[in-house]
Structure 1
């Protein structure tokens, strides 16, 4: 019994020693009171923005009419390729032809009237010097002379009005001729009919494009496909022409189209809650057979690479906290109100030291670290609620493994 008692005692002492060693080396620090952490390291950072939109052709032309009338014939089908100048739609021309005939007759009548009045003007002006001579010789009374002067002036005005009437009727006839020519619609550009909205027998209506009958069809230049996305105002400042992009289309799962930004709008679009969105156009690249599957209006999502930094110091996103600056600091910088600053809590000799850090670009995991810390520094990363309330120089306990190692173990188990 004594031997067994000694074994139990020595076994208990050994177990206690193991527990003490575990506590000393952090084995028991993975409890609820311990903080998660990671070390400042080096790596690459790619800053991207994501936004949704739709697929568009390089050029989309709404085909409408400037003359009203019944649609007599539609010469194309939806999806048909057309060349510039191809016949698209014929609108009823009978009413326009009748109006043009009336305008031509009115022009001819006004020309004849203008000729008659022009002849009367010439006679009046030719006779006027003779009346002036008679008046000077005392052979014509002042009253008769004034009557002849009034007749001359009236003839001049009538001739001028007749010429204006001729010009007006001529312009009216040209307008009728132009309207008749526009009753036959032709393709203004080469492309594909991507939306045929009209039917034979319907009435084509000139005017505002959102009225039924105003837009007869849409012709799209399919030689270049684009994604037109809407980017939030907080991110559009980082978007520039020439940046690389990748676009996915909801209708074509699994396909990724490479692209580049070709246009960034300077004007905004108001949406719900008055959020400001800016249109950004991305030209799509890829195999011809893949691009030919795209249709204008398909839902698209783009990821744009805005900036990239290689082999730079980086710090986990959750390690960077925002602290409100003091009014004294703001005044020293010439500011009227305090501004925020970025800080990180560094583990030093069992305590958390608050350090101001300068950060650059970011991805979904890291900030680029431009100053404030050195490679290898241990920074606290969580829990976030405790981290925000943690004071400078407060004593802390760390978990045994850094976040990066725990992430690798988690990935290995999957």
Structure 2
């Protein structure tokens, strides 16, 4: 059995070891926490993108409604059916329209007969007026009789003109009835697919806006070209241009990515809530026909648009770039009425943090393009962000053992 002295020796050694371990753990961590994370300015590629959500839409979508009211007698298509331009879609009850048209035809015939009768009366009155005019010149009729004949002729002309106008009015009414009857049979205006069938046989179709029940009967979509219609925030739409490439993912088709191209950028905004201004951007999709045929209008989608790209340029980490408010003197030199913010980084050199103004360009999720202000290989402080904001120019600083890039490579290799 070990002596009491031996136990005390081993106990002291153990306590010393524990103190060393705790000292390294807590003391080292404290030293590390007091240091700044950092990285170096290096060259690389930057692809600036914007992301936005929206929905899938067909190239053309036509809302099929009616301009005449009536009971739906037959629906000749099904939801999802492909149709050609001119194909029969819906038949609306025509009996009432036919009766109205027959009545209009009868009224028109009567108006034409009246016009013919009044035309004959007008001709007789004109002939009589001509005879009275000749007799008056010979002094064989009085002025009073001549004036009465003149008034009778003028009245006959007015009556005939009124009859002609009545004929024209009733003829136009009949043509409107015929047009309404023709529109009681609805045909496809374009070739495409029935993507929404909202009507049922026996319901009443009514003219009006598409948001009124019974007005929108179906939607036909031209599926030959599929598009993603996304809504881009006002802060990003200024970087969106027609012709930019895009990649589009659809929530209903996980893992599938469609290539695309921006074909339209709206100039008007869409208000969402009280503050957000969103702009519609249309992206035409390309890919295998079988994949495009799986798309349906209204599917939720998310698009990533490549706005700019720079290859082999100097890059600085996003978190290294800080904003500092400019001075009033600088603003006055630039002809401005108020100071503007400027971008700076904290360069590490000779144990100190040196404030350096920088000019940056495009950015991705990790880096800014560095246009001026630093050189390749310069060390810049990247965090902690709270400490960076409080750090003054030329203040002493210490760096952590490894850079952000080295830590990221180590983490990636462990995966």
TM-score for the superposition, normalised by structure 2: 0.90
- Relative to structure 1, is the Cα distance of residues 157 and 380 closer, same or farther in structure 2, using a 3 angstrom cutoff? same
Q: Name the residue aligned to 1:35.
A: 36
Stretches of structure 2 lacking an aligned partner (at least 5 in a row): 1-15
Cα drift, residue 148 of structure 1: 2.2
C-alpha distance after superposition, 1:342-378 (max 9, x if no partner): 1111112111111111111000000001111111111
Q: Name the residue aligned to 2:327.
A: 326
Question: Is 1:162 the counterpart of 2:163 in the alignment?
Answer: yes
Q: Name the residue aligned to 1:66.
A: 67
Tell me the SS of whatever aligns to 1:246.
strand
Q: Name the residue aligned to 2:378.
A: 377
Separation of aligned partners in 2, 1:372 and 1:157? 92
C-alpha distance after superposition, 1:280-316 (max 9, x if no partner): 1111122222111111111111111111000001110
Tell me the SS of whatever aligns to 1:215.
coil
Separation of aligned partners in 2, 1:214 and 1:396? 72
Could you tell which deviates more after superposition, 311-320 or 288-297?
Answer: 288-297
Cα drift, residue 326 of structure 1: 1.7
Q: Name the residue aligned to 2:144.
A: 143
Q: Name the residue aligned to 1:220.
A: 221
Cα drift, residue 253 of structure 1: 0.7
Separation of aligned partners in 2, 1:216 and 1:96? 20
Q: Name the residue aligned to 2:243.
A: 242
Separation of aligned partners in 1, 2:344 and 2:272? 35
Q: Name the residue aligned to 1:352.
A: 353
C-alpha distance after superposition, 1:19-70 (max 9, x if no partner): 9xxxxxxx88952221111111100000001000111111111111110000
Separation of aligned partners in 1, 2:31 and 2:198? 67
Q: Map of 1:302-321 to 2, 5 A cutoff?
A: 302-321=303-322
Tell me the SS of whatever aligns to 2:304.
strand
Separation of aligned partners in 2, 1:361 and 1:235? 12
- Relative to structure 1, is the Cα distance of residues 250 and 30 closer, same or farther in structure 2, using a 3 angstrom cutoff? farther
Cα drift, residue 386 of structure 1: 1.3
Separation of aligned partners in 1, 2:310 and 2:269? 30
Q: Name the residue aligned to 2:387.
A: 386
Cα drift, residue 134 of structure 1: 3.9
Question: Is 1:195 the counterpart of 2:189 in the alignment?
Answer: no
Q: Name the residue aligned to 1:8.
A: none
Separation of aligned partners in 2, 1:361 and 1:213? 52
Separation of aligned partners in 2, 1:329 and 1:139? 109
Q: Name the residue aligned to 1:275.
A: 276
Separation of aligned partners in 1, 2:372 and 2:123? 95
RMSD after superposition: 1.9
Q: Name the residue aligned to 1:127.
A: 128
Separation of aligned partners in 2, 1:226 and 1:105? 53
Separation of aligned partners in 2, 1:199 and 1:224? 29
Cα drift, residue 145 of structure 1: 3.0
User: After TM superposition, what 4+ stretches of structure 1 lie above 6 angstroms from structure 2?
Assistant: none
Contact residue 29 and residue 397 of structure 1 kept, 8 A? no
Separation of aligned partners in 2, 1:247 and 1:316? 27
Separation of aligned partners in 2, 1:148 and 1:30? 124
Contact residue 239 and residue 306 of structure 1 kept, 8 A? yes
Contact residue 45 and residue 308 of structure 1 kept, 8 A? yes
C-alpha distance after superposition, 1:131-175 (max 9, x if no partner): 334445544444333322222222222111111111111111111
Question: Is 1:395 the counterpart of 2:384 in the alignment?
Answer: no
Contact residue 30 and residue 400 of structure 1 kept, 8 A? no
Q: Map of 1:39-188 to 2, 5 A cutoff?
A: 39-188=40-189
Cα drift, residue 322 of structure 1: 1.1
C-alpha distance after superposition, 1:71-112 (max 9, x if no partner): 000111111111111111100000000011011111111111
C-alpha distance after superposition, 1:394-414 (max 9, x if no partner): 111111211111111122233
Separation of aligned partners in 1, 2:209 and 2:183? 17
Q: Name the residue aligned to 1:254.
A: 255
- Relative to structure 1, is the Cα distance of residues 325 and 140 closer, same or farther in structure 2, using a 3 angstrom cutoff? farther
Could you tell which deviates more after superposition, 335-344 or 97-106?
Answer: 335-344
Separation of aligned partners in 1, 2:252 and 2:242? 27
TM-score for the superposition, normalised by structure 1: 0.90
